[in-house]
Structure 1
Amino acid sequence: MDPTSTARLGRTELSVTRLGLGTAPLGGLFDRVGDEAAEATVRRAWDLGLRLYDTAPLYGYGLAERRLGAGLAGRPRADYVLATKVGRMLVPAGSAGESAGQDVYVEESGLEPVFDYSYDATLRSIDDSLSRLGVDRIDVAHIHDPDEHFAEALAGSYRALAELRSQGVIGAVSAGMNQSAMLTRFAREADFDCFLLAGRYTLLDTSGLADLLPVAAERRISVVAGGVYNSGLLADPRPGAMFDYAPAPAELVDRALAVRAVCQRHGVPLKAAAIQFPLGHPAVASVVIGARSVAEIEENVAMFTHPIPEQLWSELKSEKLLAEEVPTP
């Protein structure tokens, strides 16, 4: 596949490259990165032709947004699509009554997140992100992980973002989650342009096919697939590997090993099959993949461009590792 080819994002005027850079690792996810390595990663992604960049205040509690902005500094703003998220406001560290943080980020930013999907907080969040990124426009705004906040997100964040879209301040309204059921509710109850679906349309978990993807295709809502390695299990399947940020159950490890064995028989790295698989569905416009170094983004692009014979997908189905109805690239 060509990572620099583009697809229209829903019914918007935005076009995204089929491969985009996710920036959670640039915020110090699981390990320190530092400004220099993070910015070099962004610059290398640019040189490789990627023009979709996805970030969030949560990632490194502001570090990822700041580092992404520094890496993109000087690039023509019209030449790339920039996505960030709302729903977690950043406040001075130690000041939050109830933090919405995650203990997976290991670098200090002096800030911490709190949940707030209100109308006013959403507007402030966009302004804060613009400041950290050093840009004057966000293209895509995702409502971030409103799992326990559906009503507030719809009445607050969605209303604010829809108004910003109508004013031309942002180009697309979205939500980003690790589940498909609530995204399907959003699709049915409001006017969304796209969704970021993390981990629920992968070689190990195709649950998004049961609800979200058919609705998205019907309503011309684009899906951006994230978490295609399921936190690492599809990158390096072994006992102790992570799945959705926790140690993978043994049955999932066995399944990932079986998928890898099929890939090996066809001379295809497991990562290549994992990163290309979601684009077999017509509702999926792009895959966003994280990277923390120049070497990682180069490997991601190599995996995305690796040839995959049709027989590989057929064998995964014959081995009952993919259901027959699952579309493949």
Structure 2
Amino acid sequence: MTGRELDAPGPVSGLDRLALGGAALGNLFRGASDEVARATVDAAWGLGVRRFDTAPHYGLGLSERRLGAALRDRPRAAYTLSTKVGRLLLPDPRPGDDLADGFAVPATHRRVWDFSADGVRRSLEESLERLGLDRVDTVYLHDPDDHAEQAFREGYPALERLRAEGTVARIGAGMNQSAMLARFVRDTDVDEVLCAGRYTLLDQSAAADLLPAAHARGTSVVLGGVFNSGLLADPGPDATYDYAQAPPELLARARKLSELAGRYGLTLRAAALAFPRAHPAVTTVLVGARTPEEVRDAVAQASSRVPDDYWKEARAEGLLPEGVPVPTGEPS
């Protein structure tokens, strides 16, 4: 790749709200080579994606190392990058791999929960070292579900200080639930939150608490898990929903949504990517990819226009509740 290619093209229309998630770059569930990981990031860049997300948790730091290596020679002002704090990685080489925690990497470290002020600073410093970069743009408290007291009492104020110092530009929290994220929005001064899996074609639970609170406060919501870990990407018999076997009733609903999409010449993936962007609180949709082909597919689907009649029929068939906003017109 030439230096000229590193700078072009810029983000294309409709994709400025699409971000590349880094879990798969950390060998989520199965391995991939450094070369494929680099090609995946390169493909995203070449297609105009300029927002990237990672975390120490993803592959015991592998995702951060790979993403940092792929971004290091890019113009730093041309992209935004987020990582997370709350899990420290302590050297602890053991036989075997890390698949018990979901990642096909050697078990070289163990994760230790730490939402203390010192833990937050140490985690960020170690992330920057793995990334090989001098800054990230956004830092999230990562999965503080069982550590709420320490996260609110110590971790969040530490992030506020980092923001005040200018070390990071934006702070927030990232979780697989919406209730505690709504609390962060109401009770703190977070800039944005990352919510995974709770506002999708199959699960709109975040519409009851997080999204209205964020919209009222002007807090940005980044949505991950829009395929609910696979069911909304490919509703086959072995499809997973939130990383477990999909329940029969949800599988049936996903198949009906997929059949409806097919009648309009669309994929279910296109509808799943379009739906959450219609909510006024949602600023970004985060999509994971482990290969260049998956990146190209995500960009193609995110660029697809879903006809208004698709959403009307989905509601008429009871596949979407009344009241949730749906896209109209071109992808946005």
SS of residue paired to 2:105: coil
CA contact (8 A) 1:19 1:288 kept: yes
Tell me if structure 2 keeps the 8 A contact 1:101–1:112.
no
Residue pairs, 1:97-108, within 5 angstroms: 102-108=100-106
Matches of 1:4 and 1:172, distance apart in 2: 24
Post-superposition offset of 1:264: 1.1
Distance between the aligned counterparts of 1:120 and 1:5, measured in 2? 41
2:220 match: 222
From the superposition, tell whether residues 173 and 140 of structure 1 become closer, same or farther in structure 2 (CA, over 3 Å).
same
> Using the alignment, how far apart are the partners of 2:250 and 2:113 within structure 1?
32
Determine if contact 2:99/2:105 at 8 Å carries over to the other structure: no
Q: Is 1:325–2:311 an aligned residue pair?
A: no
2:312 counterpart of 1:306:
no
Amino acid at match of 1:58: H
Q: CA deviation at 1:102?
A: 4.8
Distance 1:18 1:109 in 2: 35
Deviations 1:248-291 (A, max 9, x none): 11111111111111111111100000011110001100101000
Residue 204 of structure 2 corresponds to residue 187 of structure 1: no
TM-score (norm 2): 0.92
Q: How does 1:154-303 map onto structure 2 within 5 Å?
A: 154-303=152-301
* Conserved 8 A contact 2:230-2:240: yes
Aligned to 1:11: none
TM-score by length of 1: 0.92
Which stretches in structure 2 are left out of the alignment for 5+ residues? 1-9, 328-332
Residue number in structure 1 paired with 2:40: 41
Correspondence list, 1:133-148, <5 A: 133-148=131-146
Corresponding residue number in structure 1 for 2:56? 57
State the distance in 2 between where 1:309 and 1:102 align.
42
Q: How many residues align?
A: 315
SS for the counterpart of 1:91 is strand
Query: CA separation of 1:276/1:91 partners in 2, compared to 1, >3 Å: closer, same or farther?
Result: same
Partners in 1 of 2:13 and 2:117 — Cα distance?
36
Task: Give the Å deviation of 1:3.
Answer: 6.7
SS at match of 1:142: strand
Alignment root-mean-square deviation, CA = 1.7
> Match of 1:92?
91
Equivalent residue letter for 1:64: S
1:67 corresponding residue in structure 2: 66
CA distance in 1, matches of 2:155, 2:33: 32
Q: Is the 8 A contact 1:178 1:200 kept in 2?
A: yes
**What are the Cα deviations for residues 208-238 of structure 1, in whole angstroms up to 9, with x where unaligned?**
0011000000000010110010000001112
Question: Which secondary structure state, in structure 1, belongs to the residue aligned with residue 189 of structure 2?
Answer: coil
SS in 2 for 1:17: coil
CA contact (8 A) 2:178 2:210 kept: yes
